[in-house]
């Protein structure tokens, strides 16, 4: 290594990247002075300065001069890294695969885990599962791989896979620390009724925070209907004793639910506000700038393909403001043999990601995509549906119901993909929907962020329905409206009516016992515990108990209270 490269290396190691870059640019300006070391170091300096486009060009320039397989593999790995920074995930995957091929498997465990993460980001779940199943034996990756595997199993509503992975995990608990054990069961707690109390005790033995364990124990008791026991556990310690914000958020949210059941509404609202204050802080820190609602508000038309298209199943989209009964209705409809109802699966999200990865502006370019590319997007949608369901084929079904409240703002995308798709709009008293959203521990999500602020929750409702009604100015679709209150008060008649709209002969015995089926599955929304109870009416008119908090903001949504036939005497 010559003196100038050594000087640049020293500057790089001291994090003086601009100084290193200045030296290296002078060296590499002359082709005769270039070397693998100087080109690689210049690329690394550019990457450290977040100049990823230039870094990629320089790594590619260094690649032919790599002296051995190890150096070549490192260049490929760095190319994968700069591609990820540019959201070029497919290219990043290809570079990473090349890097892994050049290094013995015993030396590339970190890289293989990076590949598993890439597969997960690209929703290539089969490849991800295979790789994580191999990496889980390495202690450093056991917990991370378990989180990924459980996420995939939960996404597919595959309770057998969840059980299988948890049994695998239990076999490795003695190798792990308490906080890691606790993190896995905290993940499962919100989506399944599995008994994990013994594992919580092991987590305690291995150093888990005892108060975080108490929160999970209280949550489990609450879901089992043991309200007083749950309340007593939470009351046995102070929130300041919790060490992490996730547990603290869960603590306040659960206390809010318990106070609501005890009819101590001021304390309930205070608890929900504390929970949402923590969520709001995390949302702001995440800096997620995407806003589909505003993007679709700019649409004034949708250009449909002139070519006819017939999907493999009749398509229905079950939409509605969050907490409007969509999960209840989806589970009822999924009880019918000829219907597959997919609960908040990312098919349309995957279409969105594909467009972005393929260089399109989403959703702005929807009106300009070719018919051939539109068919590619449709195929991608159904590929995603297969990845995100527990069936090997969709051929046994006549109807696919894509249930996702978020899709209410995506009607232009839905009409573009499936011009003949029908919409089922779930409606609930706007004040009950808004209040229920504020009561939920949704976590950090672009589409749920507004519900961590009380006034913003009302504004989100207004913006959602303004947009939805605005779509009618330039689009037509067949729609069936069903009110949550009607569904729970006149269940059999309402279900028969919606099945008639769908065009399916009803199996009454199945839909009347839908909750028994739900008890054996994974429900990924906050409605899971309620759906497993079956039909109950305690959630209607709940808003009346929170009049004082609603009054300052009711004018924001009053037009929609009246539009959908509700009243609000405040």
203-217, 233-247, 278-292, 312-326: segment of lowest average pLDDT: 278-292
- For every residue of 374-391, DSSP letters joined together read HHHHHHHHHHHHHHTSS-
The pLDDT of residue 461 is 97
Q: Tell me the average pLDDT of the chain.
A: 91
Alpha-carbon gap, residue 511 to 216, rounded angstroms: 32
Q: Token pair 């028969």 is at which residue?
A: 496
Q: What's the distance, Cα to Cα, between the start and end of the chain in Å?
A: 79
Q: In terms of domains, do 340 and 424 share one?
A: yes
126-152 residue pLDDT tens: 999 999 999 999 999 999 999 999 999
More confident residue, 372 or 536: 372
The pLDDT of residue 537 is 58
353-365 residue pLDDT tens: 999 989 899 999 9
The pLDDT of residue 139 is 92
The reply to whether 510 falls in a domain is yes
Q: In terms of domains, do 481 and 447 share one?
A: yes
The pLDDT of residue 198 is 82
Q: In terms of domains, do 130 and 267 share one?
A: no
Q: Show which of 240, 260, 286 is a domain's final residue.
A: 286
Q: In terms of domains, do 191 and 62 share one?
A: yes
The half-sphere exposure of 380 on its side-chain side, counting CA atoms within 13 A, is 22
DSSP tally for the chain: helices H, then strands E = 30, 5
Judged against a pLDDT cut of 50, whether residue 54 lies above it is answered with yes
Q: In terms of domains, do 194 and 218 share one?
A: no
The reply to whether 261 falls in a domain is yes
Percent of the chain with pLDDT over 90: 75
Judged against a pLDDT cut of 50, whether residue 532 lies above it is answered with no
Q: Could you give the residue ranges of the DSSP H alpha helices within 439-481? A: 454-471
Residue 290: pLDDT band by 50, 70, 90 thresholds?
low
Judged against a pLDDT cut of 80, whether residue 221 lies above it is answered with yes
The pLDDT of residue 289 is 57
Q: In terms of domains, do 72 and 152 share one?
A: yes
Q: Show which of 183, 205, 227 is a domain's final residue.
A: 205
Q: Are 464 and 407 in contact (CB under 8 A)?
A: no
Domain count across the chain: 3
The reply to whether 569 falls in a domain is no
The CATH number given to whatever domain includes residue 250 is 1.25.40
Q: Could you give the residue ranges of the DSSP H alpha helices within 262-366? A: 265-286, 292-297, 326-333, 347-357
Q: In terms of domains, do 84 and 216 share one?
A: no
The reply to whether 328 falls in a domain is yes
The pLDDT of residue 534 is 47
63-77 residue pLDDT tens: 999 999 999 999 999
> Residues 441-461: what's their mean pLDDT?
89
10-24, 416-430, 530-544: segment of lowest average pLDDT: 530-544
More confident residue, 532 or 233: 233
406-423 residue pLDDT tens: 999 999 999 999 999 999
Judged against a pLDDT cut of 80, whether residue 445 lies above it is answered with no
Q: Show which of 161, 183, 205 is a domain's final residue.
A: 205
The pLDDT of residue 388 is 86
The pLDDT of residue 485 is 96
Q: In terms of domains, do 527 and 448 share one?
A: yes
Beta pairing, strands 314-319 & 422-427: parallel
- Own/partner pairs, 245-250, CB within 8 angstroms, 24+ separation: 245/278, 245/281, 245/282, 246/186, 247/186, 247/209, 247/211, 247/212, 247/215, 248/278, 249/275, 249/278, 249/279, 249/441, 249/443, 250/186, 250/215, 250/216, 250/219, 250/441
Beta pairing, strands 422-427 & 399-403: unpaired
The reply to whether 228 falls in a domain is yes
The reply to whether 570 falls in a domain is no
Alpha-carbon gap, residue 455 to 550, rounded angstroms: 9
Judged against a pLDDT cut of 90, whether residue 273 lies above it is answered with yes
> Residues 423-452: what's their mean pLDDT?
92
Q: Are 171 and 148 in contact (CB under 8 A)?
A: no
Which residues make Cβ contacts (< 8 Å) with residue 455, sequence separation at least 6?
A: 552, 553, 556
More confident residue, 525 or 281: 281
With vertex at residue 249, the alpha carbon angle to CA 294 and CA 201, rounded to the nearest 5 degrees, is 135
More confident residue, 530 or 389: 389
Residue 31: pLDDT band by 50, 70, 90 thresholds?
confident
> Residues 173-200: what's their mean pLDDT?
83
Q: In terms of domains, do 312 and 224 share one?
A: no
Judged against a pLDDT cut of 50, whether residue 529 lies above it is answered with no
DSSP H or E run through 41: helix 36-48
Q: In terms of domains, do 198 and 214 share one?
A: no
- For every residue of 222-264, DSSP letters joined together read HHTT-HHHHHHHHTTS-GGG--SHHHHHHHHHHHHHHHHHTT-
Q: In terms of domains, do 13 and 41 share one?
A: yes
The reply to whether 424 falls in a domain is yes
Q: In terms of domains, do 360 and 279 share one?
A: no
> Residues 532-548: what's their mean pLDDT?
74
The pLDDT of residue 392 is 87
What strand order describes the sheet that includes 479-483?
A: 339-343, 399-403, 314-319, 422-427, 479-483
The CATH number given to whatever domain includes residue 96 is 1.25.40.10
> Residues 182-200: what's their mean pLDDT?
80
Judged against a pLDDT cut of 70, whether residue 517 lies above it is answered with no
Q: What pTM was computed for the model?
A: 0.84
Which residues make Cβ contacts (< 8 Å) with residue 555, sequence separation at least 6?
A: none
Judged against a pLDDT cut of 90, whether residue 550 lies above it is answered with yes
From the list 106, 117, 133, the residue with the least C-alpha distance to 81 is: 117
**Six-digit token string for 425:** 């709009």
34-48, 172-186, 487-501: segment of lowest average pLDDT: 172-186
Highest mean pLDDT among 128-137, 283-292, 502-511: 128-137
Residue 528: pLDDT band by 50, 70, 90 thresholds?
very low
The reply to whether 568 falls in a domain is no
Which residues form the domain of 273? Answer: 209-286
Alpha-carbon gap, residue 36 to 33, rounded angstroms: 10
């Amino acid at each position: 290594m010559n003196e100038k490269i050594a000087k640049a290396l020293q500057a790089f190691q001291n994090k003086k990247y601009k100084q290193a870059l200045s030296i290296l640019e002078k060296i590499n300006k002359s082709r005769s002075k270039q070397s693998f070391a100087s080109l690689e170091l210049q690329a690394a300096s550019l990457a450290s300065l977040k100049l990823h486009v230039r870094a990629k060009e320089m790594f590619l320039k260094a690649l032919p001069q790599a002296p051995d397989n190890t150096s070549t593999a490192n260049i490929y790995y760095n190319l994968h890294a700069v591609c990820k920074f540019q959201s070029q995930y497919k290219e990043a995957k290809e570079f990473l695969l090349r890097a892994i091929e050049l290094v013995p498997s015993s030396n590339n465990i970190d890289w293989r885990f990076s590949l598993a993460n890439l597969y997960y980001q690209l929703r290539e779940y089969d490849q991800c599962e295979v790789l994580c199943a191999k990496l889980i034996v390495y202690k450093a990756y056991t917990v991370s791989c378990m989180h990924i595997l459980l996420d995939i199993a939960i996404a597919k509503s595959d309770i057998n896979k969840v059980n299988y992975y948890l049994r695998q995990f239990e076999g490795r608990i003695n190798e792990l620390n308490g906080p890691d054990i606790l993190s896995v069961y905290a993940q499962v707690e919100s989506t399944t009724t599995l008994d994990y109390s013994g594992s919580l005790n092991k987590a305690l033995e291995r150093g888990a925070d005892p108060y975080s364990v108490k929160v999970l124990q209280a949550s489990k008791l609450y879901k089992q209907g043991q309200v007083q026991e749950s309340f007593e556990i939470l009351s046995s310690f102070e929130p300041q004793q919790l060490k992490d914000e996730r547990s603290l958020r869960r603590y306040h949210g659960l206390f809010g639910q318990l106070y609501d059941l005890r009819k101590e509404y001021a304390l309930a609202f205070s608890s929900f506000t504390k929970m949402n204050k923590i969520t709001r802080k995390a949302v702001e820190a995440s800096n997620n700038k995407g806003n589909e609602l505003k993007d679709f508000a700019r649409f004034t038309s949708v250009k449909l393909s002139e070519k006819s298209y017939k999907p493999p199943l009749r398509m229905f989209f079950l939409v509605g403001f969050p907490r409007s009964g969509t999960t209840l209705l989806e589970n009822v409809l999924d009880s019918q043999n000829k219907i597959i109802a997919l609960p908040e699966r990312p098919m349309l999200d995957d279409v969105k990601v594909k467009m972005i990865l393929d260089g399109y502006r989403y959703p702005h370019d929807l009106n300009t995509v070719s018919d051939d590319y539109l068919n590619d997007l449709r195929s991608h949608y159904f590929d995603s549906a297969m990845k995100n369901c527990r069936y090997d084929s969709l051929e046994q079904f006549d109807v696919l119901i894509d249930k996702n409240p978020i899709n209410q703002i995506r009607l232009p995308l839905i009409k573009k993909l499936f011009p003949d798709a029908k919409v089922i709009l779930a409606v609930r008293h706007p004040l009950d929907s808004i209040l229920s959203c504020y009561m939920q521990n949704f976590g950090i999500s672009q589409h749920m962020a507004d519900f961590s602020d009380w006034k913003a929750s009302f504004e989100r409702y207004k913006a959602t329905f303004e947009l939805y009604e605005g779509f009618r100015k330039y689009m037509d679709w067949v729609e069936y409206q069903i009110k949550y209150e009607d569904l729970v008060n006149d269940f059999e008649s309402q279900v028969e009516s919606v099945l008639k709209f769908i065009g399916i002969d009803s199996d009454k015995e199945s839909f009347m016992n839908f909750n028994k089926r739900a008890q054996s599955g994974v429900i990924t929304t906050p409605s899971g515990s309620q759906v497993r109870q079956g039909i109950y009416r305690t959630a209607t008119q709940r808003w009346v108990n929170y009049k004082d908090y609603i009054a300052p903001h009711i004018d924001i949504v009053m037009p929609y209270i009246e539009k959908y036939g509700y009243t609000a005497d405040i």
